Structure 1
Amino acid sequence: MPTLEDEIRRLMADETARLQAAPDLLTRVMHSHRNRRRRAKAAAVAASVAVVVAPVAYLTAGSVATTGEQATISAVPEPPAIDDTPPVRSEPPDLGNLGDGKEFGHVKVGYLPERLQWSQWSVDFGDRYSTAYNYEGDDTGSYRVQIYMYEEAAVQEVDDRIQGYREEGEGEEVAIGDRSGYLVVQDVGEDGMKGTPTLFLRMGDRQWAEIMVSPMYVKEFSGIEAVTAELKKIAEGLTSTL
């Protein structure tokens, strides 16, 4: 930065070159010097302020950003805690100990094919309940013959299913004594499964029975006619206690 003397010499040289010395030469020199100092000082102060303010502004902006992130994060609900406890399997309600299985719910079984006995299995859903029969030594979960009962409002389900078979042209109407029924092979598979021969028996306005012979048991008969004959015998032996 030029000294005061250098500045005076420059101005005097300029004025001398013009052959005219201004009366306010010294004053202008002093003002010029002061103005330069003020500008230099102002620039230094401004620079200092910028240095000080910049971090503050940065920190403030950073604080706002951090606060915004915290607000955003806090607005997202915490994920539920992971429960790694395996669910406890609940067994469906059953009909209890049925003894020989010849009477359950609101029905009595008068006839069963030879060697069949109660399988120790049953299920009870109120207006729907069922039990099954197999051979001694069979697994408890397997069956040869199963009887499923529908009562009260549940009979509508049977009506709808039978109507569906009628519309598809599957099965046939049958008479069991003075009671009506419907004979059909259910669940015929495209993979070679033979299906489940079934006889629906209307036991009253408020009660239907569904009698099924397992595909495994079917193999022990000479043909579908023999299976149908057994289904009809079981149906004939059913009596309602409703």
Structure 2
Amino acid sequence: MLRTRVIPCLLVHNSGLVKTVKFKDPKYVGDPINAVKIFNEKEADELIVLDIDASVKGREPDYSLIQKLAVESRMPLCYGGGVKTAEQARKIIGLGVEKVALSSEVMTNPSVVLEVSKAVGTQSVVVVFDVKKKLLGGYDVYINNGKQKIKKSFTQLLKEVEQLGIGEIVVNSIDQDGVMNGYDLALAETVREIISSPLTILGGAGTLDDIVKLQEKLGVIGAAAGSLFVFKGPYKAVLINYPSYDAKLALLK
């Protein structure tokens, strides 16, 4: 039976694990390899790792780091950051990663989705949309860590990408990133009305109850979070955490 996936999302910056707030002020929170080991022990459903430097600096994915992550990970692993070609995606999958996340390149060159899907299989292709609310309603899509707005409409890009063939779409709210006051449920509903592909929502989760609310609103879905799984308590002490299997079952009935 399908059930909601609870997915830690780790951000890598200067080879370290960081957490941002609204895509700004990355705070160092530890070593990404150590975090993967802990999430293994806690039996996380899957893991997303995003290198937030690669596309901005115009460099290749860090294959050495990717290999280390894949070797350690006992859960399905999705890696994104700097992926622009089918050959890069093929190399990443060859290192033992289950899914490759595309973002910046797709927003300006959607046909890359088709090329990557042919190379590694549609089921292994994830497209990440970083979006921000417009003043008068709706959402704009951004690339390069929220610094560059894309001219195409969010709706148009969603439809275009889905038609090209993807395994999953991740929608990340820039406004909610690191704020920990709940998901943008209106955003999640908007996306679900447009696409039928597997969907993961990222940005804003501060408690497990936020994940429950997301599932109540949309049904079975991917619920991804960063701060929720690396901080603990009102003072945001750095502590890798994740609900037990029984706790997840009780919450997400």
| TM-score with structure 1 setting the length | 0.23
In terms of Rg, which structure is larger? 1
| TM-score with structure 2 setting the length | 0.22
- Of Structure 1 and Structure 2, the greater helix share is in 1
